[in-house]
Amino acid sequence: MADSSGINPQSPGFTEKLKSWLCWSWTYICALWFAMVLTMVYALRSPLKLQETVNAASVFLNTLTPKFYVALTGTSSLISGLILIFEWWYFRKYGTSFIEQVSVSHLRPLLGGVENSSSAGLFSSVNGDAEQRSNVAECKVWRNPLNLFRGAEYSRYTWVTGKEPLTYYDMNLSAQDHQTFFLGDTQQLRPEDAVMQKAWRERNPQARIRAAYQAIELNRECAAAYVLLAEEEATTIAEAERLFKQALKSAGKDTNLLVYIRRRLAMCARKLGHIKEAIKMMRDLMKEFPLLGMLNIHENLLEALLELQAYADVQAVLAKYDDISLPKSATICYTSALLKARAVSDKFSPETASRRGLSTAEMNAVEAIHRAVEFNPHVPKYLLEMKSLILPPEHILKRGDSEAVAYAFFHLQHWKRAEGALNLLHCTWEGTFRIIPYPLEKGHLFYPYPGCTETADRELLPSFHEVSVYPKKELPFFILFTAGLCSFCAMLAMLTHQFPELMGVFVKAFFSTLCAPLGFFADKMESFMPSCLWHQLTNV
């Protein structure tokens, strides 16, 4: 039985061999078929009157005026130019070539290439499944630990600029978070909870606010309703703080609500300038709920400690959370780099360092910067103000542009406060790319850079923001091809218009040279094959 199962035609190994053999043989069958067609066309040139047809075509082409060729080449240049413009626009918007995408998606499977995901999944290996799962994990979207208040901050930006700082995708993720966090047990929903469940799903802000008031009418102690009003209706941080305190009184023993409200109260205190009070509230939260590390409250604590310039306390927090077994973030990596850069940056000079070399402390600072840049290469351009900042989204993608925006928005001031830190960053950050020449294939201190960040960041960041792409993509082949075709056709049109007779001579010489190998091949065929065979074939 064991032997018979090993040669089972239905086994995956047999199927793979059969498919590979068919793909291998198909190429040679097509080549053989093409050669047979050419041979038959040549053999039947007399019955098909190919020579007369070619002569008639030559006479027709000779009667055409140069204006026709100018119009032909000009039209070709115009069409290829329009294709070039569309390809360039598509590449700028989606980061890929439209023609290449269509070719890979629809034509490659027909030509024996890689199959679509549905068929490939039937024969995927265990390693392939693990790799796919790791890619999904790498592109997981996280809630921004320092996300702003919609009513007091995001809405004010909209009032001033007329632009929406949050995308629908980002807000929809927040609605899902709130439903899961505040209304986890859907089997025991109270009337006010049902109203709030609907409120979080509303797209219209005013509809959400009305639903919150409706929930309060049903129950004056509905903490989730006060949370929504604090987030979306309050137009100042002080007003949001007042509503959160009201929600805290009504939260009861609901752990999720307590943690969320107390964290937002700590953020209100930080924004109102009560930094020591905010730090105490954050430390208490981390002490009471040590298992809620996924909420990244330590990142709020790090930012508040940096504002107080309590660098020893910042180092103590980093010693606990910058561990090899814990997930990293831009805040962890760049704060560690800031502390090491701050120790040497006030006396750092590129000229002096190039003459005497780097000291041990300077080398540690440069290595920390390289480590941070490898984790998130988008951050330095925002810290060095080479790219303009926008309001951070409510969700971020680690190692992506959205995380870089969120980090730089809150931490740029801390880098500016450390004398010379930005100068050291400016002189050393690009050296990271020499260490990792192929970041998508192999990393140095971290896993290879995920290739899915651009797509996710385009969903999280508003359309008026130019998403940072890493590594920089080269122009697709079809853009270069259409650019060359457009230029070539335009040049032919101009030359034909200016020098019609000379271009006519050139075209005739070109086609004569092009057809010479075919004539040579035909003569050899006639001398090689018996004349009687050709006579029999032509009489068929």
DSSP 150-208: IIIIIHHHHHHH----S-HHHHHHHHHHHHHHH---GGG--HHHHHHHHHHH-SSHHHH
d(CA 172, CA 167): 9
Pure H helices in 450-499: 453-460, 477-498
pLDDT tens per residue across span 388-418: 999 999 999 999 999 999 999 999 999 999 9
* 418 touches 342 (CB < 8 A): yes
Burial 31-45, CB ≥16 within 10 A → b, else e: eeeeeeeeeeebbeb
pLDDT at 63: 67
Rounded to whole angstroms, how far apart are CA atoms 290 and 11? 51
Q: Give SS3 for 141.
A: strand
Strand, helix or coil for residue 18: helix
Strands in 362-431 per DSSP E: 395-397
| Whole-angstrom distance, CA of residue 196 vs CA of residue 209 | 10
For residue 143, the SS3 value is strand
Q: How many CB atoms lie within 10 A of CB 321?
A: 19
* 405, two tokens: 């925006």
pTM assigned to the model: 0.68
DSSP β-bridge partners for residue 305: none
**DSSP sequence for 492-517:** HHHHHHH-HHHHHHHHHHHHHHHHHH
> What is the token pair recorded at 322?
């910058």
pLDDT tens, residue by residue, 361-380: 889 999 999 999 999 999 99
208 phi, psi to nearest 5 deg: -65, -45
Best CA proximity match to 334, nearest among 306, 359, 361: 306
The C-alpha atoms of residue 100 and residue 241 are separated, in whole angstroms, by 53
Task: Give the integer Cα–Cα distance in Å for 87 and 439.
Answer: 26
Instruction: Enter the tokens of residue 23.
Output: 């793909």
| pLDDT value at residue 302 | 95
Low-confidence ranges of the chain (pLDDT < 70): 1-28, 30, 38, 40-64, 92-96, 103-138, 184-187, 324-325, 473-478, 511, 518-519, 521-540
**Continuous segment of H or E residues that includes residue 135:** helix 126-138
How far, in Å, CA of 257 to CA of 265, rounded?
12
Strands (E), 278-332: none
Q: How far apart are alpha carbons 212 and 197 in whole angstroms?
A: 10
Write down the pLDDT at residue 235.
93
Residue 395's DSSP bridge partners are 143
Q: Which residues pair with 396 in a beta bridge?
A: 142
Q: What share of the chain is helix, strand, coil (3-state, %, to 5)?
A: 70, 0, 25
Distance CA 336, CA 482 (A): 48
Give the per-residue pLDDT at 130. Answer: 40
Other beta carbons less than 10 A from residue 489's beta carbon: 20
Q: Residue 397 forms beta bridges with which residues?
A: 141
d(CA 12, CA 168): 44
- Do strands 141-143 and 395-397 pair parallel, antiparallel, or not at all (unpaired)? antiparallel
Q: What per-residue confidence (pLDDT) applies to 61?
A: 62
How far apart CA 258 and CA 281 sit, in angstroms, is 12
Torsion of CA 26, 29, 31, 34, to 10 degrees: -120
Task: Please give the Cα distance from 49 to 237 (Å, whole number).
Answer: 88
Give the CA count within 13 Å in the CB-facing half-sphere of 402: 31
Give the DSSP H/E element, type plus range, for residue 122.
none
Separation between Cα atoms, residue 373 and residue 430, nearest integer Å: 8
pLDDT of residue 313: 95
Dihedral sign, CA of 24, 30, 35, 40?
positive
Q: Alpha-carbon distance 366 to 428, whole Å?
A: 7
Q: How far apart are CA 216 and CA 255, in angstroms?
A: 20
Q: For residue 110, give the 3-state DSSP assignment.
A: coil
**Amino acid identity at 49:** K
Range list of β-strands (E), 354-441: 395-397
